A and B are shown apart, each in its own frame.
Chain A
Amino acid sequence: MSLVSWRSPFGFALSLVAVLVIAYIIGPLIVIVGSSVGGAGYLSFPPEGFSLQWYSKLIREPLYLNGFLTSLRIASTVTLLSLLIGIPAAYALAYRGFRGASTLVSIFLSPLMLPSLVLAVALTIFFSHWPLTTGNNRLVLAHLIICIPCVLRVTIPAFQRLDPALEEAALNLGATPLKAFLLVTLPVVKSGFAAAGALAFIMSFDEFDMALFLSDPAQMPLTVVLYTKAQLAFDPTLAAAASSLILMMLVLMILVQIVRMLRG
Chain B
Amino acid sequence: MLDPSDQDLVQRARTGQPEAFGDLVRRYQASVFNVCYRLLGERSAAEDLAQEAFIRAHARLAQYDPARPFGPWMRRVAANLCLNHLAAQRPSLPLDDERDQSATELLSQDPAAVREAAETAEAVRAAILALPPHYRAVIELRHFQELSYADIAAALSLPVSDVKSQLFRARKLLAEHLTRNA
Q: Is the A/B pair a real complex?
A: no
* Residues in chain A within 8 A of chain B (CB atoms): none
